[in-house]
Chains A and B, each alone.
Chain A
Amino acid sequence: MSSDTTNNSIDAGQQALLDKVAPATLEEQVLVTNNRDFSWVTNKICRIVESNAPNWWWVCMSVALVTASFTLMGLIWLVSTGVGVWGLANPINWGWAIVNFVFWIGIGHAGTLISAILCLLKQGWRTSINRAAEAMTIFAVVCAGIFPLFHVGRVWFAWWLFPLPNANLIWPQFRSPLEWDVFAVSTYGTVSVLFWYMGMIPDLGVLRDRAVQRLSAGVYEETSKLRESMARYADVFRKYFYGILAMGWRNAGNHWRNYEMAYLLLAGLSTPLVLSVHTIVSFDFAVAVLPGWHTTIFPPYFVAGAIFSGFGMVLTLMLPLRALYGLHDLITQRHIDNMCKICLGTGSIVGYAYIMEFFIAWYGANPYESFAFINRAFGQYSWAYYIMFSCNVFTPQLFWFKAVRENASLVWIMSILINVGMWFERFVITVTSLANDFLPSSWGYYSPTIVDIFTFAGTFGLFSTLFLMFLRFLPLMPIGEIKFVMPQADPHGHSDDGKESQ
């Protein structure tokens, strides 16, 4: 592993062999570049929330709020009029609402994967992206939850989804995958919030202490008296706000010991969730006996697709943030490479699944199944199928090339294409199978209404609003954990410029 030890212990014969094959030395890139020190990291991350909001933040926030109001209008329209305002009609009774639900739930998966599985696998590069990815997960779950909640029709009866005792003496249908979904998604949401919040406690303590220090030192050098007192009041607010949220964190040794243990336990708890949530979402389709849905490949294929779209979304969010906040030393090319490679891996699994579905449709020799797949590719929805296939199968293959991975703008555009493709995947799965089922006389064509479009477009506004609030008020990256993986954190690393520290 270490070049020092290999050099010292090999004999002459081995040395001759080594000279002959001339192995390339693989240099592991450090996770925090430019030889930054600990206080630089603390300052960099804390100042995002401590300094005044940049102009782009206000612009984005206004746009996001206006867009989010679309969802509100769409939902008011829906509830006051009835579910008929959505484009649902026999035989297609699962339209955009289910597509959007699966789309948003899928996006959340990257956060859980980064925070749970990469933590257990001791992947140091997770540290600078995990907080934002976890926030993304939670906000995506919020957006996802809206759709099935309102799809029940009478939203005021949505509490019937939970097994609560009632005067009707009835229980939810526990044999239905839709009911499993309720538990899968609510567990997922709860554990994600716990994980996100618990991981933030040390950083909230840092923000609290910095506000207290500024207040006691009284260093407010602003241009006017008004600005000065505003800055002071902001710190008073921070003192209490972060003081409450930090729950008495004192940075003590036993605090850190408990924190590490709790973090590990939560990582263990949420690891199965990475796989289970989208497996159960796929059961919504796979348990039904509809050609094109009733396939055993769905769970692994859905999970891979979810992680694929989730990492797409992480790239979509982190690349602009890196540029806007100047975080190039924290989110390095190594981080982007790794995320691109995960997109490549999961995207290839998704592409394999698309092809395997066709193979099984032929190999299974079921005429309805073969029809369902031929219809997908060449039927009335073939345009959606081609968008899905080109975005999901061809786009990630470009990540094989280093030049592509190093071109941030290109990676950003591709990351958006990935999520366009993944939305169309859910559309193709949901709608094509329903539109052309066993009975040709009942076939139909589904089109969304303006209400569908408004409600869905608005969820991007809701997601952005929540994410912008997160940027403004909560620490974007785990300060302590980044310091663990810095070259400077390893006192023995000085001899070789910190190359061994990861």
Chain B
Amino acid sequence: MANIFPKWVNTVPIKVIVALLLIKTAIVLGITYYFSPQYTRVGYAPTQPVAFSHEFHAGTLEIDCRYCHTFVEQSGHSNVPGTNVCMSCHSMVLKDDARLATVRQSYDSGEPIPWVRVHKVPDYVYFNHAVHVNRGISCVECHGKVDEMEVVYHAKQLSMGFCLECHRNPEDYIRPVEEVYNLDWERPTDPGAVKEIEEFVHDWGVNPPQSCSGCHR
């Protein structure tokens, strides 16, 4: 009986297998890279209505985070300040500068400046700022070095995995409460200090929830 398939067909199965493996690898790598929050969120830096520089105010002038974000220690929500806070300085400093025209206008009219929100967790996630900062989680852990940002950008992933990494090993992220707003604080490596931080975890009863309903309430 004559051959049904020509001779070149002999190598087709191995070619198909190799092609499928390559396609599969490409899909896996592609999804891993392009579908992760590292790609979709990190680096988001919208242009704000006022070119407010955190680098200058928080970095050079060393104004404390809480001077403007006043309720972060008391409230679940960390507030964006009203223009009256800006004017507490700028009524005297650079009072006629053109770059502050929008701020003065807002102060006079009472209409808030439409800041573009950079960091946002989904509606189905419960996050409480006060609980975190009062138990030694610094601003820098989620927001990055804001005091070095000319324009604020999304520095960390803020994915569920990002949250869980800390909730599973809080001792790797907790710092002394007085260092929470010191974004330049460096984690000590000597055993004494490490033990001290582990004692914070124990003494403060830090027991971050890992069950679904901890955050998805």
Instruction: Give A residues with C-beta under 8 Å from B.
Output: 166-170, 208-209, 212-213, 216, 239-240, 243
Contact = CB atoms under 8 A, between A and B. Distances in A.
A5 B160 CA distance: 78
A208 B38 CA distance: 53
B157 A216 contact: no
B36 A167 contact: yes
B159 interface: yes
Interface stretch (B1-9, B77-85, B195-203): B1-9
Contact of A166 (B4, B161, B165): B161
Interface in B1-40: 1-2, 4-5, 35-38
A168 B4 contact: no
A208 B4 CA distance: 9
Nearest to A211: B4
**For the complex, would chain B's binding face be called helix, strand, loop or mixed by DSSP majority?**
loop
Interface string B135-147: 0000000000000
Contacts of A212: 1-2, 4
Contacts of A243: 4-5
Contacts of A239: 4
A170 B2 CA distance: 57
B35 to A, nearest CB: 8
A72 B195 CA distance: 61
B177 interface: no
A170 B163 CA distance: 11
Contact of B2 (A166, A169, A216, A240): A216
Contacts of B45: none
A167 B38 CA distance: 9
Nearest to A239: B4
B160 A170 contact: yes
A208 B165 CA distance: 58
B164 interface: yes
A470 B204 CA distance: 67
B161 A169 contact: yes
Contact of A168 (B2, B38, B164): B164
Contact of B161 (A167, A209, A213, A240): A167
Contacts of A209: 1
A199 B202 CA distance: 63
Nearest to A240: B4
Nearest to B168: A169
B5 A168 contact: no
B159 A170 contact: no
B162 to A, nearest CB: 8
27 contacts: A166-B161, A167-B35, A167-B36, A167-B37, A167-B38, A167-B157, A167-B159, A167-B160, A167-B161, A168-B160, A168-B161, A168-B164, A169-B160, A169-B161, A169-B164, A169-B165, A170-B164, A209-B1, A212-B1, A212-B2, A212-B4, A213-B1, A216-B1, A216-B2, A240-B4, A243-B4, A243-B5
B89 to A, nearest CB: 41
Contacts, number: 33
Contacts of B5: 240, 243
Q: Could you say which of A167, A213, A239, A240 has the most chain B C-beta atoms within 10 Å of its C-beta? A: A167
A350 B160 CA distance: 47
B4 to A, nearest CB: 5
A438 B160 CA distance: 36
Contacts of B157: 167
A167 B163 CA distance: 10
B125 to A, nearest CB: 11
Interface in B147-202: 157, 159-161, 164-165
Interface string B37-78: 110000000000000000000000000000000000000000
A209 B3 CA distance: 11
A319 to B, nearest CB: 37
Across chains A and B, which 10 residue pairs bring their CB atoms closest together, nearest first?
A: A169-B161, A168-B160, A167-B159, A243-B4, A169-B164, A167-B36, A167-B161, A168-B161, A167-B37, A239-B4
A166 B28 CA distance: 11
A213 B4 CA distance: 11
B152 to A, nearest CB: 23
Nearest to A209: B1
A209 B1 CA distance: 9
Contacts of A240: 4-5
Nearest to B159: A167
A405 to B, nearest CB: 46
Q: Could you say which of A166, A208, A212 has the most chain B C-beta atoms within 10 Å of its C-beta? A: A166
A167 B161 CA distance: 5
B159 A168 contact: yes
A193 B4 CA distance: 26
B37 to A, nearest CB: 6
B139 to A, nearest CB: 23
A242 to B, nearest CB: 9
A212 B157 CA distance: 61
B124 to A, nearest CB: 12
Contacts of A167: 35-38, 157, 159-161
A396 B138 CA distance: 71
A21 to B, nearest CB: 60
Contacts of B160: 167-170
Contacts of B159: 167-168
A491 to B, nearest CB: 28
A169 B164 CA distance: 7
B158 to A, nearest CB: 10
A169 B160 CA distance: 7
Nearest to B212: A170
Contacts of A170: 160-161, 164
B29 to A, nearest CB: 13
B5 to A, nearest CB: 6
Nearest to B157: A167
A216 B3 CA distance: 12
A351 to B, nearest CB: 42
Nearest to B164: A169
Contacts of B38: 167
